[in-house]
Amino acid sequence: MINKPINESTTRLIHGGQLNEIAELYSIPLKKWLDLSTGISPISYPIPNIPENIWQQLPQTSDGLIEAAKRYYCTENINATSGSQAVIARLPNLYLNYTNKSPSQIDVWLPEVGYKEHERSWCDAGFNIKHYNDLPSCEDLTLYSIVVVINPNNPTGELHQQRTLTDLLKKIEALSGWLVVDEAFMDVIQPNQSIIHLTENKHLFVLRSVGKFFGLAGIRIGFLSANQYWLEKLKAMASPWEVNGPAQFITEQALNNHQWQSRQQQTLITLSTQLEELLTTTFLKPFNKGEGIKISISGCGLFKTLIHPQATELFQSFCRQGLYVRLCDENNALRFGIPNPKQYKILAKLLAQHCHS
Ligand SMILES: Cc1ncc(COP(=O)(O)O)c(C=O)c1O
């Protein structure tokens, strides 16, 4: 499954996690695969007993959940959504519904490399797409510019400091634009570089995901932090039962459980460091004295990304071994999800076999 540029495939993007299709493609039964294709923690928040009435009743937004989210994310301006993906899909319409501007006149700046659902959303709505490698400068930005920052970036792991984004917000506010910061992977960053505490500002939107750090991508819950004006408008665009009751119940407990959160932090640091060391030994050390071969490793506590000139060949060869990682959109890198200790042993064995083949 090789990635296509966005304009060749506006219907569906590949993000990892499509093991069924890969297993069929390589004719290897599902249970024989080691699936490290996502950036979701391999250790998830334990599912508590859920009272029967939560399953039976239509979900209403739980005050307890919002209070827990305010404390965990350190903001008063927050709403639950069915995954941060739901916000990514709705932001362009939110903009168009409540401003009287034509999308083709508005520049939307997106990272050249990064989670492509942002681009798809703004592009499909007719906005003027621009790409950046380094954040756009004052000279780049025009009136009403919208800048999307994924912090830390998926898959590069690049992290912008709080200070840098605070300065960018000032510039954008002066141009009556929007700054959209996707902090889906921020929970593992120490010290925290979130700018969620600034969302009283009407020009700032911060997205948070529960799926990654808490390892609960399947329950489909995330958060948007923005000025109350925008939160109300977005609520009006959402479905009446936006987030299911069990997801709200579990997430309230997860957000309140500080002991579990700090254990999770420690575990992810340990496991991601081990993964980085394994990738270094396998792919970087053999080339230490090499002749300018451009291989590098980046990432964060939820994934590690190997930039490699033979990424596509490696991806295919790994698939033949039953190892599924994420071939990045540019076909120049492989993103490895963090393996749990059992998965780590299998990965180490597969990589050793790979080196000797
Ligand atoms: C950078 C980024 N943002 C947002 C999402 C959406 O996550 P969710 O809808 O599970 O919160 C993803 C999913 O992979 C992602 O990688």
Measured by CA distance, the residue closest to atom 6 of ligand 1 is 85
**290 located within any domain:** yes
Q: Do strands 323-324 and 34-35 pair parallel, antiparallel, or not at all (unpaired)? A: parallel
- Identify the pLDDT of residue 8: 38
| 210 & 85 share domain | yes
CA nearest neighbour of 188 among 36, 17, 304 = 304
Nearest ligand 1 atom to alpha carbon 82: 9
| 212 & 143 share domain | yes
| 163 & 148 share domain | yes
- Of 215, 237, 257, the one marking the end of a domain is 257
* CB of 156 shorter than 6 A to ligand 1: no
Residue 57 has pLDDT above 70, yes or no: yes
* CB of 151 shorter than 6 A to ligand 1: no
* Residue 31 φ/ψ, nearest 5 degrees: -70, -10
Average pLDDT value for residue range 33-52: 97
From 159, 209, 210, 223, give the residue whose CB has the most ligand 1 atoms within 8 Å, as the site to mutate. Answer: 209
Q: For residue 166, name the pLDDT band (cuts at 50, 70, 90).
A: very high
Q: For residue 9, name the pLDDT band (cuts at 50, 70, 90).
A: very low
Average pLDDT value for residue range 295-302: 97
**1 located within any domain:** no
What is the CA angle 173-178-181, rounded to 5? 115
Residue 10 has pLDDT above 50, yes or no: no
Domain span including residue 277: 6-44+260-356
Q: For residue 5, name the pLDDT band (cuts at 50, 70, 90).
A: very low
| 27 & 91 share domain | no
Average pLDDT value for residue range 27-49: 97
Residue entry with tokens 């790994």: 318
Q: For residue 12, name the pLDDT band (cuts at 50, 70, 90).
A: low
- Cα of 181 from ligand 1 centre, angstroms: 12
Percent share of the chain, pLDDT over 70? 94
pLDDT, one tens digit per residue, over 59-98 is: 998 999 999 999 999 999 999 999 999 999 999 999 999 9
- Cα of 283 from ligand 1 centre, angstroms: 28
| 10 & 132 share domain | no
| 239 & 92 share domain | yes
Cis peptide leading into residue 309 (ω within 30°): no
pTM, full prediction: 0.94
* CB of 178 shorter than 6 A to ligand 1: no
Burial tier of 122 (Cβ tally within 10 Å: 0-12, 13-18, 19+): buried
- Cα of 240 from ligand 1 centre, angstroms: 22
Nearest ligand 1 atom to alpha carbon 211: 10
* CB of 15 shorter than 6 A to ligand 1: yes
Measured by CA distance, the residue closest to atom 3 of ligand 1 is 184
* DSSP-derived 3-state class of residue 259: helix
Residue 4 has pLDDT above 50, yes or no: no
Average pLDDT value for residue range 20-49: 96
The DSSP H or E segment spanning 231 is helix 228-237
- Identify the pLDDT of residue 100: 85
Residue 2 has pLDDT above 60, yes or no: no
Average pLDDT value for residue range 266-274: 98
Given a contact cutoff of 8 angstroms between Cβ atoms, the answer to whether 84 and 221 are in contact is no
- Cα of 52 from ligand 1 centre, angstroms: 30
- Structural domain tally of the chain? 2
Which sign does the torsion angle of CA 271, 273, 278, 282 carry?
positive
Residue 3 has pLDDT above 70, yes or no: no
